[in-house]
Amino acid sequence: MPIVVDVDVLLAQRKMSVGELAERVGITPANLAVLKNGRAKAVRFSTLEALCEALDCQPGDLLRYEAGAAVVTVR
């Protein structure tokens, strides 16, 4: 999918763990991992808003378009 999610980059910059972010946003660490690893099919605006608030960023800091990005397949 050509939409790349940069949650891991922002987590590293903020020195925040996945568990801490999940708690602040109100989602499970497993669901955050799905988003972080590019396996999510959709993101609710309310979740995007909570992520932006918790990470003090804009939606464009979390999501970017990358033409020709590989599709992640997990078996």
pTM confidence score:
0.84
pLDDT digits (tens, 9 = 90+) for 44-69: 999 999 999 999 999 999 999 998 76
Q: Quote the CA–CA distance of 56 and 70 in Å, as a whole number.
A: 28
Number of residues assigned to the chain: 75
Contact predicate 62/55, CB 8 Å = yes
**pLDDT value at residue 70:** 58
35 pLDDT exceeds 60?
A: yes
How far CA 70 is from CA of 3, 7, 35, 40, 61, in Å, comes to 10, 18, 16, 14, 20
Q: How confident is the model at residue 74 (pLDDT cuts 50, 70, 90)?
A: very low
